[in-house]
Structure 1
Amino acid sequence: MKAIILAGGQSERFGKPKAFAQIDSQYFYKRIISVLEATNMFNQIIISTNEDLATQFDYEDIVIDDNQNKGKGPLAGICSVMNLYKNEELFFVISVDTPMITQKAISKLYQFMVEHLIEDQLDVAGFHEQGRPIPTLAFYSPHTLKTMNEALVSDDFSLKNVYSKVKSDWLSVDTIESPDYWYKNINYQQDLDSLQQDILNR
């Protein structure tokens, strides 16, 4: 099972690449790697990024988006990795701007996926917040790859265009007993400021 950290976005709203923003004096991407490693669930943790950022990571397992899929968002990042490892049984996807992910959340989602895998033939299992899926915090079966590749040559590169066409199910973020910032995206600098304040006050 492999983990994919999506870190190829332009981060225009944040003002600089979010992978290299810091929380508790640690880069977002390094914090996520540490949490993923601590689960002992993954045989490889891969950073999916673009060629402009690739050399800035202090990390070896980097996959750069395929040339023909540049600028096609998270979908391109996931596909670039999955196309390289077509025989892998499962992929966990997380966006680099979700730095407070916990081992507990990953393990609980994996358990949810496994429980539904055989009976429901589940292709995607992720979290949802009040019914809104979070597809950049989810497990993906390699069976989704065909649908992803089809989406990449369409005019709709959204992950919804993928998960709406395969078997997907979603676990409420409320089932994880952690401060609610564990799944929050950091989109703006003020989001990071608020997160740091929440951590201080917890």
Structure 2
Amino acid sequence: MKPRDADRLSKGVALSADEAAFAEVLEMIQTARQRALATVNAALVDLYWRVGEYISRKLETATWGEGVVEALAEYIARHHPGLTGFTRANLFRMRKFYETYRHDEKVAPLVRQLPWSHNLVILNRCKRPEEREFYLMMARRDGWSRRELERQLAGALFERVIMNPPQASAALTGTSALPRARSHAKPTVIRLL
């Protein structure tokens, strides 16, 4: 081997080792960013909870009316023009968020572990408490994006898994494997990734 080729080979190995080190540093940066985003999301959801609680208490005690909430939104916009997310509609969403989960000791801590956008999707699309709990737990456990959460809601995952659990096979239950005449059972939907 020529000295020149050996020199290139050693540089290639060195670059590869450098690239591995660079990738390791990049991984540290990405991990720290993800942790920071999770911390910021948790702080925002906690803030929205507290604002919702504050508004709820003021409205319950008749200290405030709905017009005062609108005035609050205008006040925030006037004093902090760059601050977004505190419109009248969003302030009422925060109130609904708090009022929906305030008595649920199991779910209240869980909502703080998901981004606000996930919480809004679940709050607006799920009517039953057990359905909300199911999607909160699944989104947290499986790390669903908002889009994936919406896809699972559209596919009625809760209804398919919880409301209509899969039946044991005929061989296991000892019943006939022949289909029943005029069955009105809903067909099972299987989604492949």
* TM-score normalized with structure 1 length: 0.24
Higher relative contact order (CA 8 A, sep 6+): 1
**Larger-gyration structure (1/2):** 2
* TM-score normalized with structure 2 length: 0.24
Q: Which has the higher helix share?
A: 2
